[in-house]
Chains A and B, each alone.
Chain A
Amino acid sequence: MEDFIVAAVKVVIAFALLFMVVLLIVWAERRIVAFMQNRLGPTRAGPFGILQTLADGMKLLFKESLTPRNAEVFLYLAAPVMALLPALLIFLVIPIGAPITIGDTTYTLQVTDLNVGVLYVLALSSMAVYAITLAGWASGSKYPLLGSVRAAAQMISYEAAIGLALVPVIMFAGTTSIAGIVEAQGATYFGFLPAWNIVLLPSFVVFVIAAFAETNRAPFDLVEAEQEIVGGFHTEYSGFRFALFFLAEYINLFTMSALTVTFFLGGWNGPTFGPTWLVWILPVIWFFVKTFAIIFLFIWVRGTLPRMRYDQLMAFGWKRLIPVSLAWIILAMIAMGIRRYGLPWA
């Protein structure tokens, strides 16, 4: 019973945190991109316009939700929910801070630690494409269909890369549990250099690039390329259903950044000091600092790079990312073998 209450509290906190963070990210993205373009961005709602997202959400709530005549109604209605669910669920396995011990009970700052955490993440992140594909197809309209076809092809190209990029991480940590991967990064090289998986640099680069494609963000936002196919898969969506897609997109951005931090930048690992409460809080702060740095990277790339052409996207995925990750897996295997068993001729 107590486990149940703890889990319920954790879920509520996790979801509340996600929605709060998304409000912040949407605002931050609009402000930062505006600043990069010498504009001001939203400044009206609340201090520095920080409540703009809330205002937009309210507006969308009160808007009419249209259903096109040619839509497959059930799938059309289910798609936004299918987009939001995986986005929310991925976050459940991400530890946002070090375990806290109160009395003789230890609480992990993670809703649940699956021993197949990495596979769970990969499975759910590939679920997101179903929502996009079905949304495009069920709309019964040509531009959404084009968007969903693009989404399907893009996902196939980049799922493989993202999976392969994580193989060296799993090999280094020796576990697929995400808490385990974070703990494995807690050690140090030479006593001061944090043993983050960033040393697997090719994996990190491939993962981040694939994450751009996975979250459908610039320069890989072909799925909703406004200049070519109107709004892409969400052309026919309006009102609250559109808001759900929008929400899912930004939750995905946050979870992918959090995953990047967890897999490659040491998760919540960082220097801790001071009284007990500070030791509890600091890892959470490190985690969010790192995550927001990655989110800034995402926004920065969006403000800088133009959208890639479709064939470039496919060629880049199949001809660059996948061979690079395969070669890197082999190299990493050899390195691990040497570390464990010594040089073959020695």
Chain B
Amino acid sequence: MSMIGDLFGPWKGFTVTFRQMFKPKVTTRYPKDKRVKPQRFHGRHVLNRYPDGMEKCIGCELCAGVCPANCIYVRGADNPVDDPVSPGERFGFVYEINMLRCIFCGLCVEACPTEAITMTHLFEMSVTDREEGIFTKDSLLVDPDGTPNHPLPETPLIDINELKLGDGWMRATAPSGRATFEGIEAWSPSARMGGMAPAEPSQQQTADSGRQEAASKKPTADGGQPEEESS
């Protein structure tokens, strides 16, 4: 019996491949159809601005220092007194990222004290020359309205609307800490005291209010986990 079964065993495999021919295909026809990138996708970097147009970068070179691939080159300079580029003393007057070396680890984003450098969902970065692989401040800095600058904005490969969305890092480090935070300016327009307030309550405030709510609703035993949590 098992011998007869063995004889027709391979046939089962053939039915599988035949059936699969009529199943829906998983291919995304890329330049035509674009898949939505994951929220925290590590794409190309941008240098951000405050809503008033000021650059966020203060030229501190922490990103360059933390970069494991050594692909960032920053030179800081003193802000001109009559026409400051960034709030504060200094600004980054040279900012270059060698995209051929970048490993897209995101450590520069974590290191940046002013959220000046963040990552976008942009991944179409092909260049025809090694020289072009070095992105300068011209192409990294966002436009005054917050749209990331792209060297090839007219090519059909680029979804310009997607560029205007904040990336995962922006959302995850939002004042409230909610990953869905989107489209709201996260930072005050100026690093100085007395600037504009953030558009959202900070994580500290949210956590405090949350804790108060929890405390009023669910009494805990000796500061341990709420008993009803598992139910």
| A positions within 8 Å CB-CB of B | 32, 35-40, 43, 300-301, 303-305
Contact = CB atoms under 8 A, between A and B. Distances in A.
23 contacts: A32-B21, A35-B21, A35-B25, A36-B17, A36-B20, A36-B21, A37-B20, A38-B20, A38-B27, A39-B25, A39-B26, A39-B27, A40-B25, A40-B27, A40-B29, A43-B29, A300-B14, A300-B17, A303-B17, A304-B10, A304-B13, A304-B16, A304-B17
Q: Which 9 A-B pairs have the closest CB atoms?
A: A40-B27, A35-B21, A36-B17, A304-B17, A303-B17, A38-B26, A304-B13, A40-B25, A36-B20
A199 B77 CA distance: 90
A38 B18 contact: no
B192 interface: no
Given A32-B21, A43-B29, A303-B17, 16 more contacts: A36-B17, A36-B18, A36-B20, A36-B21, A37-B20, A38-B24, A38-B26, A39-B26, A40-B27, A300-B14, A300-B17, A300-B18, A301-B14, A304-B10, A304-B16, A305-B10
Interface string B1-36: 000000000100110111011011111010000000
Which of A36, A40, A301, A304 gathers most chain B CB within 10 Å?
Answer: A304
Interface residues of B, number: 14
Contacts of B25: 35, 38-40
Nearest to A303: B17
Interface in B94-109: none
Which of B16, B18, B21 gathers most chain A CB within 10 Å?
Answer: B21
Contacts of A37: 20
A32 B27 CA distance: 14
A35 B18 CA distance: 9
Nearest to B27: A40
Contact of A304 (B14, B23, B26, B29): B14
A252 B72 CA distance: 56
B149 to A, nearest CB: 31
Contacts of B10: 304-305
Contacts of B17: 36, 300, 303-304
Contacts of A40: 25, 27, 29
Nearest to A41: B27
A39 B20 CA distance: 10
Contacts of B14: 300-301, 304
Contact of A35 (B13, B20, B29): B20
Contact of A38 (B13, B23, B29): B23
Contacts of B26: 38-39
Nearest to A32: B21
B31 to A, nearest CB: 10
Contacts of A38: 20, 23-27
A43 B30 CA distance: 12
B27 to A, nearest CB: 4
Nearest to B28: A40
B27 A305 contact: no
Contacts of B13: 304-305
Nearest to B16: A304
B13 to A, nearest CB: 5
A38 to B, nearest CB: 5
Nearest to B12: A304
Nearest to A302: B17
A35 B20 CA distance: 7
Contacts of A35: 20-21, 25
Nearest to B20: A36
A305 B23 CA distance: 20
A36 B10 CA distance: 16
A35 B22 CA distance: 8
A305 B17 CA distance: 10
Interface string B57-99: 0000000000000000000000000000000000000000000
Contacts of B24: 38
B52 to A, nearest CB: 47
B230 to A, nearest CB: 41
A38 B27 CA distance: 8
Contacts of A305: 10, 13
Nearest to B10: A305
Contacts of A303: 17
Which of B17, B24, B26 gathers most chain A CB within 10 Å?
Answer: B17
B19 to A, nearest CB: 9
Contacts of A300: 14, 17-18
A36 B22 CA distance: 8
A36 B23 CA distance: 9
B3 to A, nearest CB: 15
Contacts of B29: 40, 43
A28 to B, nearest CB: 12
A43 B21 CA distance: 16
A277 to B, nearest CB: 35
